[in-house]
Structure 1
Amino acid sequence: MSKKMDPRVVRTRRMLRDALVELIRERGYEKITVRDITNRATLNRATFYLHYRDKLDLLYQSSEEILNDLTESINSSFGGKEEFDFLNDQPNENFINLFEQISLNGELYKVFLTEKNMPHFTSCLMEVLVDFISKGMNIMQPDDQMLTVPREIAVRYFAAAFLGVIVWWLEKDMPYTPKYMATQLMSIAIKGPYVDNPF
């Protein structure tokens, strides 16, 4: 990916991806064909086959591109501990980037995460979240002896919770801003849901 893609190629691929997302939302993945996709994108089939082998290839490449963009976005602001103040009431830039990047492609994430026949995307996003949370926890508390549960359990717990919240946010058509969502998730991950300790 060192070479920049031709803007015309980027535009064509985006048109095909958008057509795929729209059609999955309307009919479900199994019921659509390459012809349906090219008709919706107002492109010919020869153009489609210049870029993709079949609709599954379009699906996988689209998934990879979107998740790579997400990974680059949330990793770009990981810095030293002094820049990563988890105790600040303002959400960390990484959390905001997570939700902003998802909101940029909200319809795609919504369709790919809720379509029953597309578990691959969900599991790949889960791994992105696992890596994201692992890095954050390692910066916040690198000593396993200072955790109340094994690190891998905590990481998976938070990743599953984040994924559930993201799916809910998308299904509700993103009623809150990325910054608001980042603030709430960061708060609940660090302090829990209670104003005062109830125990």
Structure 2
Amino acid sequence: MILEKGYEAITVDDICEAANVGRSTFYAHYTSKDDLRRNGLENLRSLLVDRQKNALAKPRETRDRSLGFSLAMFEHARDHIDLYRTLVGGRGGVIALGTIRQILSDLVRNELAATADKKSADVIPREFAVQYVVGAFMAVMTWWLDSGAKLPPHRMDAMFRRLATEGVVPSYS
């Protein structure tokens, strides 16, 4: 429906009709269409949490261990590119992207908590690092989608994780 009508034009009545449920049933589960949208992103959260758990279960010396959600998020965005593009243009996009940003922030926060080195005297505050990584990820993902997602998700994942974990100075051309 979002692809056909745009998020803003969709009403709760439209949703109820498409789902073949009454308004009272809808409101028994959701407070609004925005609530439904946020709730719909819980499947994405579950997928990304599972990917992160699998990555963190790998041996510490394994390079693929950090930011384990990244590939799954790039794949999800590519698989739903038309929906992402539609959402970005309006109020629905603010809600969806805000929810995605929160999901990613939670994942990065959890990963940093699990791998924190509290012995260093030059520790960067965890929340600073969370906002840096998530902001960079969102910017790169948006750029990639806006330019047609020409590079495959695994390549985007490898470049993002390399820059996020090793830094920019030695990596760019």
TM value normalised by structure 1: 0.63
State the 1:55 CA deviation: 4.1
- In the alignment, residue 60 of structure 1 is paired with which amino acid? R
In the TM superposition, what are the counterparts of 1:89-168 in structure 2 within 5 Å?
94-112=69-87, 114-118=88-92, 119-143=94-118, 145=120, 147-168=122-143
1:14-33 maps to which residues of 2 (within 5 A)? 19=1, 21-23=2-4, 27-33=5-11
Query: What residue ranges of structure 1 are gaps of 5+ in the alignment?
Result: 1-18, 39-43
CA contact (8 A) 2:49 2:69 kept: no
Evaluate the alpha carbon distance shift between residue 35 and residue 123 of structure 1 in structure 2; reply closer, same or farther with a 3 A threshold: closer
Q: Which residue of structure 1 aligns with residue 48 of structure 2?
A: 70
How far apart are residue 129 of structure 1 and its match? Answer: 1.5
Change (3 A) 1:70 1:29: same
In structure 1, distance between residues paired with 2:123 and 2:41: 35
Relative to structure 1, the CA distance from residue 84 to residue 120 in structure 2 (aligned partners, 3 Å threshold; closer, same or farther) is: farther
User: How far has the Cα of 1:45 moved from its partner?
Assistant: 5.1
Across the aligned residues of Structure 1 and Structure 2, the Cα RMSD in angstroms comes to 3.4
1:70 shift after superposition:
3.3
1:35: how far off? 6.1
**Partner SS state of residue 55, structure 2:** coil
Aligned-pair identity in percent equals: 22
Q: For the Cα contact (< 8 Å) 2:47–2:72, is it kept in 1?
A: no
Larger radius of gyration: 1
Measure how far apart 1:73 and its partner are.
Answer: 3.5
Deviation for aligned residue 1:36 = 5.5
Shift, 1:72, TM fit: 3.2
